[in-house]
Amino acid sequence: MDQDSHCTAERELLEAVNRITTFSTTSPSDEAQNQPKAEISCRVRKENTEKDDLQDSNASLSPNSSMTTKELQEYWRNEKRQCRQVKLLFEIPSTRIVEHHLSKYVMYKIIILQTGSFDSNKSVIERRYSDFEKLHRNLLEEFSEEMEDVTFPKKMLTGNFTEEIINERKLAFKDYLRLLYSMKYIRRSKKFIDFLTRPELQEAYGCLRGGQYTKALEILSEVIGLQERLTRGNPVSIVPTLCAIVVCHKDLENPASAFEYGEKALSRLRVLTSHRYYIPLLETMITLAYELGKDFLSLQEKLEEWKAKKDPIRVFTLKELAVREYVQ
């Protein structure tokens, strides 16, 4: 490609990028205003940081930018990846009947996987009818308007354990989850996310408190992937789980793995130094870095900076914080 063609291509890319950026910062159309709860393309970032992100984007993509055409293309690919919503698919392939003392109920096996590509990290959970029923009641309290046309399979007085009824409910619950997930405000709600993750997290933290670190780590490693997908717009919300994994690896004498997950958690708290996990995590990371022969001085400097700005208060250790999670 000659120089004139290269310059023309670069100008066209810059103009296209600026048009898209300008479009993303303009006021919503009349149609969007009439439908305030509709899905808006690529607006999945946290609302309190969206304006700053767009300002930074405009500044970095100005016509005076020194970025090459290739760099601009790569930049915009990364931007689109960040905006792209992770779409999940819900399947209920099987069930099992549980008889416990005087009670009898059906457990539905739910497989959750990412669409669009082969997903080797699918999540598998089990829920019973009463779990779905509780979720439905909770969502009706908070999202009565959105749930207006959502149907829920009614409980039968008899015949709940027949193959016909169980198969009907398998299909009904699969459609139910898909419909809930299709609604932005519901799929981001704590009640929906808790339905899909809380029982497993409660079990994992129970194992952690009992010193069963291997079992706790096994469960946490399964649920963290699902948590990340469900809370993509709020990465800080998975910090407690990441820190629990750090605690498990540390007590199992796996300092390298503990440090790896600690870095993931610390990156999510970069601008949230007031978060309750920040200082305990920082102290743990200093210990791990020293043990592994890594740079601990930069972490120590952050700790000293925080102490200089804050009044001295009692701070729990990372393990003390972890064992307090999900205590009934």
In tens, the pLDDT along 139-148 reads: 999 999 999 9
Which of the given ranges, 6-15, 93-102, 110-119, has the highest pLDDT on average? 93-102
More confident residue, 121 or 283: 283
Average pLDDT (16-37) is 41
More confident residue, 248 or 87: 248
**Packing angle between helix 69-83 and helix 3-25, nearest 10 degrees?**
30
Average pLDDT (2-21) is 47
Average pLDDT (4-29) is 45
- Residue range 53-64, pLDDT digits in tens: 333 333 334 444
Give the percent of the chain with pLDDT over 90.
Answer: 60
Element (DSSP H or E) covering residue 78: helix 69-83
Nearest 10 degrees: CA dihedral of 172, 177, 179, 183?
A: 160
Alpha-carbon dihedral sign for residues 243, 194, 175, 140: negative
Give the percent of the chain with pLDDT over 70.
Answer: 71
Mean pLDDT for the chain overall: 80
How far is 287 from 102, CA to CA, in rounded Å? 51
| Residues paired with 108 in a beta bridge | 95, 127
Tell whether the model's pLDDT for residue 35 goes beyond 70: no
The structure's pTM equals 0.73
Length of the chain, in residues: 328
Looking at residue 70, what is its pLDDT? 62
More confident residue, 312 or 12: 312
More confident residue, 31 or 293: 293
Domains of the chain are: 87-188 (3.30.1520.10), 198-324 (1.25.40.10)
